[in-house]
Structure 1
Amino acid sequence: METIDKSMYTPMMRQFLTIKEDYNDAIVFFRLGDFYEMFFTDAYIASRELEIQLTARDAGAKERVPMCGVPHHASEAYIERLINKGFKVAVVEQVEDPSTAKGIVKRDVVRLITPGTYMDIKNDDISYIASVGLNINNYTVSYLDISTGESFSILLPKDQDVLLSELNQIEPKEIIISSYFDQSFLENYTKNNGILVSFNTDTQTPSFMDHLYNNLPSKEEKKTYKRLLNYIIKTQKRELMHLKEVKILEASSYLRMDSSAVKNLELTETMRSSNRIGSLFWLIDKCETAMGSRFLKKQILRPLVNKEIIVKRYDTIDVLNKEFIIKEEINNLLKNVYDLERIVGRISYGNTNAKDLVQLRRSLKVLPELIKNLKALKSDHTDFLSENINSLDELASLLEKALVEDPPLTIKEGNMFKENYDTNLDEIRNSSSNLKIWLKELEQKEQTRTGIKKLKIGYNRVFGYYIEVPKGQIANVKDEFGYIRKQTLSNSERYITDELKSKETIILSGEEKSVKLEYELFLELREITSKNISIIQKNASLISEIDMLIAFSKISEELDLIRPAIIDNDEINIIDSRHPIVEKINPSEAFIPNDIIMDKDVSIKLITGPNMSGKSTYMRQLAITVILAQMGSFVPAKSASIPIFDQIFTRIGASDDLVSGKSTFMVEMLDANNAIKNATKNSLILFDEIGRGTATYDGMALAQAIIEYIHEKIGCKTLFSTHYHELTDLENHLDKLKNVHVSAEDENGKIVFLHKLKEGPTDKSYGINVASLANLPKALIERSKIILNDLEKNHQKLSNDSSITLFNFDEFEEEKTEIPKINNEITDMLNDISIDEITPIEALNILNKIINKI
């Protein structure tokens, strides 16, 4: 905001301008009474983005100040909209008691809400704020979900593409960097993904938070995490006790997939529409809790490489499938467990309400029964889970004694606590209750005294308690009744009396005391609950895993999955492999399963076959099977034995990267380079038609060189599909390469896809047959057949005989079917109809006439 002479404004506006100086990059929500007001540039931006009225107010200066505002009680919805659009919001409240203030009441920012620090995340969504640092050899990335307190740290090579790929997978809402960090290469990424970049050089954090990052091995990693922590403390202006110790993500601890693989395999959303429906996450998310769904999503993105844990999960699924009654009981219990991670976050943050604690109480109440059912399964892993869940009986009992079943949303209007929880509260309530009985008796007494049977005693916040007399009986109100007129309505008059006014003071004083005491009691209850944060978080983690394992058991039955065998060599043996998502989305079409067999003598399968025949599906289903297996889930096949892979690299589907100005071919080469540079013998590579984005011979040469390099230098399991049939000759030169093809048949010029993988190369391309399915003109198809035949005879060169002038397109022109002329009498009858005026009976009569004429 431009420099403004504050001296020309009123004290209140000077207060706003002083605060705004420190929060120039945020929209300031300035609390005035029951509204948050915005002024100057903030008002212009907010009125446009929130579609609210822009007004102006006098503020001492010659010109009125632009202003807009939103009600305090509805502010969260407006703040959320601004945050989702990438803005920061600084919330300003009164920070001193107006009754003791000398002059204008002191106000200050009580929290700065940013896209990365917004707490109210919905359901299973994950929202990260990340910090990026740099040293001589590495990038360091720390990221944190403030709503759950979970944080991670990862060390990356000093490679901008690797960093961008990691950020693409994390999908942070906000990135924190030092003012010395060169962010120029991040600009396109952050701008096109709507990511806010914030600067913070300060890395000082309170000593009581040292335990959060002491496990980080290097100074630079600690610095990056502390920069993030410092930013959160500065913006939130409170101690966040729910933050968990940072987890170190080591490359060797999970199955690594870059953002390209996650996108190509459609793990969390589809490529075409960026929709959850149609993704692997959509297919297998049968969790009952939001915590379980979030845990599942993290497992999809970072599957395991620890065989012991994987097998332990298989064992648990086996037990759950066998003990289906106990499984159903556990599943029903989970339906009553709320989002403990987010509840704990709100408790720590200080914005929890009584409903949160009631949800916590309901969740804790199911834990004893959950522990009992887990023990009944009698397996090592479920025994471990049951032994580590703490039912927190004392806290559950306290919350049960304290809170009503359906408390209000706010904590400053009372009615939260049960009777017999607090003696003082009961006394105040009893006193107030007695006074309300007195009011009822007064109403009956006044009806008798005045003879006005419809007289009532009511209350509102403006006038307090009053006596209301209907319009038709106002004449019966006499002076000796001592009624003082207070308000005139269209159908009644309202009065007060000295007696009623004196009692009102006592009643309202009691209600005020009651609300104030309930607020204090709630803060005490919240403080007691907050001392159990770490235990509740541990429970949440264990319940999330239970929920995911139940989901795995459900899908194993619903999707007909089998337990795979994890082997120690590099052989793949999957019989009747299926793609579970394709199978689910197209239930009317029987999915054709295929074997995926690659023994020790085969490292590369070169796949040929026509477009649309299922090559990409075949490649994807291997990756999906590997990911499911290494998550600890059963897999879609008749039988499966696979090794543990350390990385998956993919290039499936042609697409430009328009944001970065990269062509399809450049993206292909970057993906290929990423795989070639980083793959090991234990990796899995899936390349679909690499080289198609450039000239035929260039593309074929590069494709062959890539195949040879993978074969000779890497040796990992690779599926490589291609339309370059010349490459099939490599089987004669590369020992561990095997030709396979997806079969199709030509039936009278019509292609029939069999979707079955067979050994050896395909005998033809079928490209023209596929084109005919798109209903291209018949003449065009015939012409392409002639050109193809000529190219094959002359080794990819057109002969003079194929000149376009020698081909008669008209000869193959399809006969046009004449549209029969409709009887004129009928069309005239229809043209005369006025659709807006005709009645149903008339319409039926006309229809009957038309049918008879036809």
Structure 2
Amino acid sequence: MSTPMMDQFLEIKALHPGEILLFRMGDFYETFFDDARTVSRALGITLTSRSRSREDGEEIPLAGFPYHALDGYLSRLIRAGYRVAICEQTEDPSKATGLVRREVIEVITPGTLVSGSALDERRTILLSSAFVLEGRGGLAFCDISTGEIDATETAAELLTSELARREPSELLLAEGSGIQPPAGCEATFLEKWKFDGAAAVSAAESVLGVSTPEGLGASSDSPALSAMGALLAYVRDTKRMDVSHLCFTGMYRREDSMIIDRGSARALAITDAPDGEESAVLASATDCTVTAAGSREWRKWLAAPSRRMETIFGRYEAVSWLMEERDVLKRLRRMLEGVADLQRQAGKLGTLRSGPRDLRAVADTLSTLPGFRAIMGGSKSDLLREMAEVDTMQGTASRIDSVLSEEPPVKLGEGASIRKGVSPELDEYREIRSGGHDWIRSRRDEERERTGIPNLSIGSNKVFGYYIEVSKSHLDRVPEDYIRKQTLVNAERFITPQLKEMESRIFRAGDEIERLEREIFEELRSEVAEELAGIRDAGRMLARLDVLVSLAGMALDRGYVRPALSDLPGIEINEGRHPVLERLLPQGECVPNSIRLDQGRRILIVTGPNMAGKSTYLRQAALLVVMAQAGSFVPAACMRFSPVDRIFTRIGSSDRLTRGQSTFLVEMAEAAALLNSSTPESLAILDEVGRGTSTYDGLSLAWAMLEYLHDSAEHRPLVLFATHYHELTALGNLLPAAANVNVKVMDTGGKVVFLYRIEEGSTDESYGIHVASMAGVPPRVVRRARKVLADLEAGRHLMPGGGGEDQLELALEPEKPGDDPIVEKLRGIDPDELTPRRALEILYELRDGLE
């Protein structure tokens, strides 16, 4: 037999078997049974127990935490991959008759975070949905924190790469789907009927107010529409509230952006580093934004650099104008430092989570829009003038300002949220409460004088209300009209009829103030929520402006130059610098290098020793192209390029080794993607292809790949190919559109100095033994390696042997001739005694012997 409260818990838990149920009990969230064990283990909090009932004495596992600590604990649970259902008390316990009513008000999943400490203000958290229909793939994405939704349709085989590029936190799939979620993404499986086209249209109509597929830019049989419908229904079910604030920003085309698959993005450390080292990430090294929204926008630009010339050119023009107008640049940056994150404020507003301080931040930011608009409208940049057309929404700002106080509290009830004069009734109750407090203060002085008790005080608490406190040393002076209420160790507490009467007036006024402020605020919030679209547009404009301002400032501070766009496929960079390495090394230590790839020089074969800078050179070229197509100026003396459609990389293999795939298998899978999918507009970065197998196998594969990439009319990308196979340098001379470059090394009397400079031509020196010595390999091993190398280069063969002191070493011996008859015959000949005729006869005899 259990208690009514436990019966209530079990009933609600049965509806949420897959979630941790946080059960609100007073000032705590409690968990029970397996949930308690999970929470205790995940959060490191104490696991206790309580009896199910007085009769049976069964112990129930229990773990909980204070309600005000929810954000922090929720963050940890979500990051650990758990789904959490929030069960709140939905009626005032003081007014409840019997058991307090409780309901699950929200289910939190990795992709449906709206606010709180679990939400990184500079990172986008995406919920995604994927569906395949007749060979076509559809994807939908939603940023719950801003309410923005977009979608795309593509070939089914490209779904995985697009999911990896967008990096969602949660992926919705139909039951039985074979789509693999990207690394770090939680998969949630739904009934297949939820991806039905008709259900999708119904969900779109109820949430977005769009009644036809055409209104979303999709056909009725579009897999993207099916994915979006499932996503909308999921959000509606998990958030347990009106989600009409969600906004569809449109269908996007993958073809408009450079494709960078997950492996390439991680290998190049564009937005994330494989080892988690944030300082080595391009997005971090180049993020000079001053707002969280701007930081998120810059990461979007880097994750999907534009292929559209007009988009790239427009960004260049805006950055150039801002660089020319330095006073304007400084002013805009100062103005941006004070703006709120309107995009996420719109998300909170749409879900009715905004507090008084949130609305004040919205109003204050909207009030700055006319200033931004005036500056941008006078720009020579078409992009900035276009952005300046955003609605400044001054009516909304004025409305908020007329109702809210100048410095409202974070939450209602924590201070004065509403201005004086908005509600005469509210003002009257405030005067009553203020007068009551004044009466309390004066009453204390009067009672001290009347009783002669110098330390008499008047206080209050939630249990007893107002009371008069007298220390025990003065109890003999307490008047007869004092009524004893509580005994403490060193004092007694009393009340009087007059004090209780004033208390009643103060508390009643406080209740009315709270009620009226809530009514006025909620009415205001609903009014402002009607303007969500405009607030989102303004937030998007400010985020884009922040990026452009940051790019201009970065270019000025770091000496970046504007790239020149070309219609002819190719990349030419003069004295380019690695954008991340330059920030990590002391000033002046990053060695600049040049690169030229064009139709007559499409393949560069890069040779040189380990640690000399080959991989850095390859990555540098790719990163500068990414930056340039994102709209940034670049660290170089000059750069000319044509936008690339995709970057392929073959660098490292850590991503899939954990899935049981060998280094060589991963390498060949990435090489196959390049060979099958590249175009003449692609850029390929290949580092040590063929290293994971035998020397001859690896060399043969690398050779054949280079020939294929050179000769294929369909593919023929621009290629940077770093290798230790020095035989491949022959292709630099044999293939018309290939060339050799090498990393310059200075060898002075056995001492090798890496110069990190790229020069034309090839090298046949690896300096591997020198690198081993630098790495700390014992001198004895290094000396022996040098001898082995010398013997191998002399054509000798390795033989097992040795003993004594050198028993662990390989003995190298010249190969001993055997008992071959031809060899024996040659040994018996004295060349000085042979006539020319006899020498010729012997030569024929030897040949016949070979046959």
TM-score by length of 1: 0.88
Aligned match of 1:178 in 165, 170, 174?
174
2:536 maps to a residue whose letter is Q
TM-superposed deviation, 1:209: 2.9
Following superposition of structure 1 onto structure 2, how do residues 388-399 of structure 1 map, counting pairs within 5 Å?
388=390, 390-399=391-400
Q: Residue type matched to 1:82 in 2?
A: L
Superposition deviation, residue 376 in structure 1: 4.1
Are the counterparts in 2 of residues 710 and 716 from structure 1 also a CA contact under 8 Å? yes
Aligned-pair CA distance for 1:122: 2.2
CA contact (8 A) 1:20 1:28 kept: yes
Which residues in structure 2 correspond to 1:740-755 (within 5 Å)? 740-755=741-756
Counterpart of 1:448 in structure 2 is 449
Q: Distance in 1 between matches of 2:187 and 2:310?
A: 41
Matches of 2:776 and 2:94, distance apart in 1 = 81
Asked if residue 257 in structure 1 is aligned to residue 247 in structure 2, the reply is no
Which residue of structure 2 aligns with residue 40 of structure 1? 33
The answer to whether the aligner puts 1:486 opposite 2:488 as a matched pair is: no
Equivalent residue letter for 1:325: D
d(CA) in 2 for partners of 1:478, 1:108: 51
Note if contact 1:86-1:196 (Cα within 8 Å) is conserved in structure 2: no
Match of 2:298 in 1: 296
Who is 1:197 aligned against?
Answer: 188
- The runs of 5 or more residues in structure 2 that have no matched partner are 810-851
Within the alignment, does 1:229 sit opposite 2:229 as a pair?
no
The CA distance in 2 between the partners of 1:158 and 1:435, in whole Å, is 71
- Counterpart of 2:832 in structure 1 is none
**Displacement, 1:788?**
2.4
Q: Deviations over 1:145-201 (max 9, x none)?
A: 111122232334333xx5444333333222212224246x65xx66xx362534344
Matching residue of 2:557: 558
- CA distance in 2 between partners of 1:656 and 1:503 (Å): 70
Tell me the distance in 1 between the aligned counterparts of 2:778 and 2:528. 73
**What's the counterpart of residue 644 of structure 1?**
643
Q: Aligned to 1:175, what secondary structure does the other structure show?
A: strand
Once the two structures are superposed, the pairs formed by residues 793-832 of structure 1 within 5 Å of their partners are 793-794=794-795, 799=797, 805=802
User: For residue 474 of structure 2, what is the aligned residue in structure 1?
Assistant: 473
d(CA) in 1 for partners of 2:204 and 2:283? Answer: 39
SS in 1 for 2:368: helix
Q: Distance in 2 between matches of 1:366 and 1:377?
A: 18
Is the 2:207–2:243 contact (alpha carbons within 8 Å) kept by the matching residues of 1? no
Superimposed CA distance per residue, residues 242-284 of structure 1 (whole angstroms, 9 cap, x where no aligned partner): 322154332311011111110111112333x212212111111
| Partner of residue 434, structure 1 | 435
In structure 2, what residue type is equivalent to 1:530?
A
User: Pairwise mapping of residues 671-710 of structure 1 onto structure 2 (< 5 A)?
Assistant: 671-710=670-709
The answer for the alignment partner of 1:496 in structure 2 is 495
Cα distance in 1 for partners of 2:223, 2:670 equals 29
Deviation at 1:73, TM superposition (A): 2.6
Distance 1:305 1:256 in 2: 10
Deviations along 1:810-839, one digit per CA (max 9) or x if unpaired, are 999xxxxxxxxxxxxxxxxxxxxxxxxxxx
2:234 partner amino acid: Y
Secondary structure of 1:524's match?
helix
The one-letter amino acid paired with 1:369 is G
Residues 806/338 of structure 1: CA separation in 2 closer, same or farther (3 Å cut): same
- Given that 1:395 and 1:529 are in contact with CA atoms closer than 8 Å, whether structure 2 keeps it comes out as yes
Measured in 1, the distance between the counterparts of 2:189 and 2:365 equals 38
1:88 to 66, 69, 83: 83
Q: What is the CA distance between 1:804 and its match in structure 2?
A: 5.2
Say whether the 8 Å CA contact 1:656–1:664 is kept in structure 2. Answer: no
Deviation at 1:770, TM superposition (A): 2.0
Shift of 1:808: 7.5
Is 1:71 aligned to 2:66, yes or no?
yes
Q: Which amino acid counterpart does residue 709 of structure 1 have in structure 2?
A: Y
Write out per-residue CA displacement over residues 479-507 of structure 1, whole angstroms, 9 at most, x where no aligned residue.
2xx00111223443221011211221122
Cα separation, 2, equivalents of 1:49 and 1:362: 40
2:115 maps to 1:116: no
* Structure 1 position 526, deviation (Å): 0.8
CA RMSD in angstroms comes to 2.4
2:272 corresponding residue in structure 1: 269
Distance 2:808 2:515 in 1: 93
Q: Offset at 1:413?
A: 4.5
Specify the SS of the correspondent of 2:601: coil
Classify the secondary structure of the residue corresponding to 2:223.
helix
In structure 1, what is the Cα distance between the partners aligned to 2:217 and 2:742?
51
Moved more, 718-727 or 427-436: 427-436
Distance 1:81 1:410, change over 3 A: same
**Residue 781 of structure 1 corresponds to which residue in structure 2?**
782
Equivalents in 2 of 1:386, 1:337: separation in Å?
A: 16
Report the equivalent of 1:587.
586
Bigger CA drift: 165-174 or 303-312? Answer: 165-174
- Mean Cα displacement is larger for which, 447-456 or 418-427? 447-456
| Pairing partner for 1:168 from 147, 150, 164 | 164
Matched position secondary structure for 2:320: helix
Cα distance in structure 2, aligned partners of 1:440 and 1:589: 69
Sort the Cα spacing of 1:807 and 1:454 in 2 relative to 1 into closer, same or farther, 3 A.
Answer: closer
- Secondary structure in structure 1 of the residue aligned to 2:367: helix
- 1:285 to partner: Cα distance: 0.5
Q: Go from structure 1 to structure 2 and tell me whether the alpha carbon gap of 1:804 and 1:782 turns closer, same or farther (over 3 Å shift).
A: farther
**Contact residue 598 and residue 718 of structure 2 kept, 8 A:** no
The number of residue pairs the alignment matches comes to: 790
Write the distance in 2 (CA, Å) between the matches of 1:49 and 1:441: 53
Q: Which residue of 2 aligns with 1:846?
A: none
Matched residues in 2 for 1:211 and 1:634: separation?
A: 42
Report the alpha carbon displacement of residue 704 of structure 1 after superposing the two structures with TM: 0.5
Q: 1:692 to 1:36 in 2, by over 3 A?
A: same
Pair 40,503 (structure 1): closer, same or farther in 2 beyond 3 Å: same
Residue number in structure 2 paired with 1:148: 146
Which amino acid in structure 1 is aligned with residue 659 of structure 2? S
CA contact (8 A) 2:123 2:296 kept: yes
SS in 1 for 2:140: strand
Unaligned runs of 5+ in 1: 1-7, 813-854
* 8 Å CA contact retained: 2:710, 2:716: yes
Distance apart, 1:137 and its partner CA: 0.8
Q: How far apart in 2 are the matches of 1:176 and 1:775? A: 50
CA drift at 1:363: 1.4
Equivalent AA in structure 2 for residue 22 of structure 1: L
Q: Quote the residue 1:402 is aligned against.
A: 403
Q: Report whether the alignment pairs 1:104 with 2:99.
A: yes
8 A Cα contact 1:95 1:106, kept in partner: yes
Matched, 1:658 2:686: no
Q: Which residue of 1 aligns with 2:218?
A: 216
Shift in Å, 1:101 = 6.0
1:661/1:180 Cα in 2 relative to 1: closer, same or farther (>3 Å)? Answer: closer
Deviates more, 1:544-553 or 1:308-317: 308-317
Partner of 1:818: none
1:553 alignment partner, SS class: helix
2:432–2:505 contact (8 Å) kept in structure 1: no
Partners of 1:754 and 1:511 in 2: CA distance: 76
Residues 750-792 of structure 1, C-alpha deviations (whole Å, 9 max, x = no match)? 2111222222211422222222222323332232233323333
Pick which of 412-421 and 693-702 moved more. Answer: 412-421
Aligned partner of 1:537 in structure 2 is 536
Could you tell me which residue of structure 1 aligns to residue 326 of structure 2?
A: 324
The share of aligned pairs that are identical, in percent, is: 36
Q: Is the partner of 1:245 in helix, strand or coil?
A: strand
Report the counterpart of residue 387 of structure 1 in structure 2: 389
Partner of 1:624: 623
Give 3-state SS (helix, strand or coil) of 1:626's partner: helix
Alignment partners' CA distance in 2, 1:758 and 1:440: 86
CA distance in 1, matches of 2:173, 2:273: 31
Instruction: Indicate if the aligned counterparts of 1:656 and 1:663 stay in contact, CA closer than 8 A.
Output: no
TM (norm. structure 2) is 0.89
Distance (Å, rounded) in 2 between the aligned partners of 1:706 and 1:417: 71
Partner in structure 1 of residue 136 of structure 2: 138
1:345 to 347, 367, 376: 347
Amino acid paired to 1:244: C
Q: 2: CA distance between counterparts of 1:400 and 1:307?
A: 43
Q: 1:495 to 1:396 in 2, by over 3 A?
A: same
Amino acid at match of 1:473: H
